[in-house]
Amino acid sequence: MRTLSFALVAASLLPQPMSAHARREAPRLIVDLTPAGQRAAFRPALAMGAAIDGAQAGDIDRLFTPHNIAAMKSLGLPSLTYRLRTELGIEVWHWNPAGTWSDPDRQQGYWTSDDRLGEPIGLSWGYKLPRRGDTVDNANNADYSRLTDGDPASFWKSNPYLDPVSLHDGRDHPQWLVVRLAGMTPLDTARIAWGEPYATRYKVQYWTAESEYNEKGEWRDFPHGDVDAGRGGEVQLSLSDAPIKAKFLRILMRQGSGTAPAGATNWRDKAGYAVREVSFGSIQPGGSFQDAVVHAADHLGQTFTHVSSTDPWHRAVDRDVDLEQVGIDRIFASGLGNGLPVLMPTGLLFDTPENMAAELRYLTRRGYPVTQVELGEEPDGQYGEAADYGALYLAAVDRLKAAAPQISFGGPSLQNAQTGNWMSPTGPTSWIGRFMAYLRERNRVSDLGFASFEYYPFDDMCGKIHAKLIDQDRMLAAAIAQFTTDGVPTTIPWIISEYGFSAYSGRAMSQMTGGLLMASIVGQWATDRGDPAFMFGYGPGNPVNQHLACAGYGEMTPFMADGQGQAAQPTAIFRTAQLLSQDWIAPGSGRHRAVGVKAEGFPGNEVRAYAVRRPDGHLALLIVNRSPDMPYDLPVFLRTGANRIVPLRAAVSIVQYGREQYQWLDQGPASHPARNLPPVRSRRAAGLAPISLPPESITVVITQ
């Protein structure tokens, strides 16, 4: 059929005046085709993508089969991002298993992967950091803090690259450790077993509130907690004349000794701070010390601690045998990137600039299509200081530019665009706000080539799921507003580096609601920003429950997996991805222009619609009905002038997918699709007939 221009479509529409009452009450869509209605522009080949993450041992080989690769590519999401799970697990990424140690004789120290070209890299691994001070992490959570492990030979050490001997930004970067006791506890004494280097100036503080999230809480020095001439070794401090009740304690380190363990020769050995063990408690009437800290080499048994940074020193024996990353060469050879630039990562918080630069040289020598590199992942989720991340970020950019001048660097791949600063009541309240403030102070905002964040709106997968779907509109708008308020430049790409229902699994992901959420996120982001958004959960999977029993079983996946991990039955996410990438938009790199759509007369904002002017001349509507039980007959109108609204009379193609095509059978670990049909396709001749919207449905309307 001949494609009509928008001018011809608009000219073929007859006026349909509406009363004021009808405009208020009758459900309808109004698509704004005026210049004022223009929203973001985007090219689908770059704006729509998916993510490949680290996996459990053996899963990469099961995922990267010809069958699974073909299945994943059939979603029609052209772009690809490589996610770095090691950075969430407090691990160093050996992106190339071949490389060199700073102490090669003992196979330990600081690692740099080999940037020389050789056999293709099929798999890579993370290495745990034995100088860790965090009880928990954001990945497998299989390690523990050395601060409360009860082992006098182990120790936590801060990142040497934040020490003034390495970092020359003219700013203080005090390091800290936080201890969380079981409850509010009377305290008057601290015991600190310092390693090398130790703090010569430090403060011992307590949090004034019982909850870490209490907005009125603040860090307060113990009356005798300010030390200006520390000498290291095992120290017992009398913190106060009378016990003070507290749950959270902090040692804030402001100046280091610059000393190294005997026999150490590497500059990093004397940079930062090292602590072997910490205890807090009270002196009893008989003079004995009652320790409120539980010391155990187990993250489930020890008293919780968290630290500001971690030394990336490690050993060959520290390889995480349970986690693997796909090899760099394998990801490009798979074709999942479709020949387009792949958004690649480097480590940052738990890596060295030398290893990062080697990765960039390797990518360049291979000639791989890489134009953007993300530095680190989820630093806000690690509760680190935004200024520390900023300092490491800029130091890395300065070094990496020389290795790959053609690359645009960015990040931080926030865990949440609205993350606050953990137990830090002064200064900007948001993490990204403090990061941007640091860049402005350094006059280096231009070195942020793009800003990225992950978007998983719902931790709680229970309750009224359809109400959550509607609230997602507000949440994504709030994320955009947060970036704007905090001064993230609007002229650079804002990238959703991962999106999905939740960081936890549950039935709502696998029900039709999973598709409804995906359509809403993609439609809203394409309209408001037009920047890349990457779906998380690319490969096949099976139902699991990771969090709350009431969430049931499901998974963020487009395919059910068979016994060999191969893609089998499609899910609602697969059908939705195809509907978005192959129906709503015109596949390829043609420029699409989003236009505003107003949905009137719907209770509770149950219906949301998005519209694009496609490069093939068609107008395409994406309509999402999030009501669990309410169908609608929906007339569509076009605003063609400031005071002119006319009905859509053109012939249209309709593609519809919903509960009538897909139904999830809730049977615990054996849950699966009970009804699994493709979308229904139809054509409607020119006229005034409304569009029928079943409950829980996604509808694409394309003018002909």
Q: In this structure, which amino acid lies at residue 331?
A: I
DSSP 462: -
**pLDDT recorded at residue 135:** 98
Cα(first)–Cα(last) distance of the chain, in Å?
A: 7
Helix (H) / strand (E) element for 629: namely none
Neighbours of 535 (CB within 10 A): 25
Q: Is the pLDDT confidence value at 12 over 70?
A: no
Q: What percent of the chain has pLDDT over 90?
A: 91
* Cis peptide, bond prior to residue 412, ω within 30 of zero: yes
**pLDDT recorded at residue 140:** 82
Q: Is the pLDDT confidence value at 143 over 70?
A: yes
**pLDDT recorded at residue 309:** 98
* Whether the Cβ atoms of residue 72 and residue 80 lie closer than 8 Å to each other: no
Give whole-number Cα distances, 83 to 49, 112, 536, 653, in Å: 13, 20, 9, 38
Rounded to whole angstroms, the Cα distance separating 659 from 698 reads 10
Delimit the domains of the chain by residue range.
6-43+589-703, 48-129+317-584, 156-311
Neighbours of 168 (CB within 10 A): 9
**pLDDT recorded at residue 651:** 96
DSSP 295: P
267 Cβ neighbours under 8 A, 6+ residues apart: 160, 165, 166
Rounded to whole angstroms, the Cα distance separating 674 from 512 reads 12
**pLDDT recorded at residue 25:** 61
Q: What tokens does 321 get?
A: 């045998």
The pLDDT of 405-431, averaged and rounded, is: 91
61 Cβ neighbours under 8 A, 6+ residues apart: none
Rounded to whole angstroms, the Cα distance separating 341 from 358 reads 19
Q: Is the pLDDT confidence value at 16 over 60?
A: no
What residues are paired with 55 via a beta bridge?
Answer: 324
Q: Is the pLDDT confidence value at 21 over 90?
A: no
Sequential DSSP letters for 236-265 = EEE--SS-EEEEEEEEEEEEE-----TT--
Nearest to 640 by CA among 592, 595, 600, 587: 595
Quick one: pLDDT band at residue 298, thresholds 50, 70, 90? very high
Q: Provide the sign of the torsion angle of the four alpha carbons 115, 116, 122, 126, taken in this order.
A: negative
pLDDT tens-place string over residues 84-127 = 999 999 999 999 999 999 999 999 999 999 999 999 999 999 99
Burial pattern 254-289, b for ≥16 Cβ within 10 A else e, equals: bebbebbeeeeeeebbbbbbbbbbbbbbbeeeeeee
Which has the minimum average pLDDT: 1-5, 270-274, 413-417?
1-5
Nearest to 459 by CA among 423, 415, 494: 415
Give CA torsion, residues 540, 542, 545, 551, to 10 deg. 90
* Whether the Cβ atoms of residue 412 and residue 462 lie closer than 8 Å to each other: no
Helix (H) / strand (E) element for 85: namely helix 85-88
The pLDDT of 168-176, averaged and rounded, is: 96
* Whether the Cβ atoms of residue 499 and residue 9 lie closer than 8 Å to each other: no
Q: What is 48-129+317-584's CATH number?
A: 3.20.20.80
Q: What tokens does 162 get?
A: 């934040």
CATH 2.60.40.1180 applies to domain 6-43+589-703: yes
Give whole-number Cα distances, 112 to 359, 466, 494, in Å: 9, 49, 31
Nearest to 623 by CA among 150, 632, 24: 632
Rounded to whole angstroms, the Cα distance separating 142 from 277 reads 20
* Strands of the 533-535 sheet, one edge to the other: 79-82, 48-52, 533-535, 494-499, 451-455, 408-414, 372-375, 344-346
Quick one: pLDDT band at residue 24, thresholds 50, 70, 90? very low
**pLDDT recorded at residue 328:** 99
CATH 3.40.50.2300 applies to domain 156-311: no
Rounded to whole angstroms, the Cα distance separating 214 from 237 reads 28
pLDDT tens-place string over residues 643-687 = 999 999 999 999 999 999 999 999 999 999 999 999 999 999 998
Q: What percent of the chain has pLDDT over 70?
A: 96
Nearest to 660 by CA among 625, 686, 703: 625
CA atoms within 13 A of residue 472's CA, in its CB half-sphere: 33
DSSP 64: S
Give whole-number Cα distances, 346 to 79, 197, 605, in Å: 18, 28, 41
Overall size of the chain counted in residues: 704
Q: In this structure, which amino acid lies at residue 450?
A: F
Quick one: pLDDT band at residue 8, thresholds 50, 70, 90? very low
Q: Residue 380 burial (CB < 10 Å; 0-12/13-18/19+)? A: buried
**pLDDT recorded at residue 421:** 87
Quick one: pLDDT band at residue 428, thresholds 50, 70, 90? confident
Q: Is the pLDDT confidence value at 11 over 80?
A: no
Rounded to whole angstroms, the Cα distance separating 337 from 325 reads 17
Q: What is the mean pLDDT of the chain?
A: 95
SS3 state at 611:
strand
Q: What are residue 153's phi and psi, to 5 degrees?
A: -85, -20
Rounded to whole angstroms, the Cα distance separating 480 from 531 reads 12
* Whether the Cβ atoms of residue 471 and residue 477 lie closer than 8 Å to each other: no
**pLDDT recorded at residue 2:** 31
* Whether the Cβ atoms of residue 82 and residue 344 lie closer than 8 Å to each other: yes
Q: Provide the sign of the torsion angle of the four alpha carbons 428, 430, 435, 437, taken in this order.
A: negative
pLDDT tens-place string over residues 587-612 = 999 999 999 999 999 888 999 999 99
Which bin fits 427, alpha (ψ -120 to 50), beta or left (φ > 0)?
left
pTM comes to 0.94
pLDDT tens-place string over residues 492-508 = 999 999 999 999 999 99
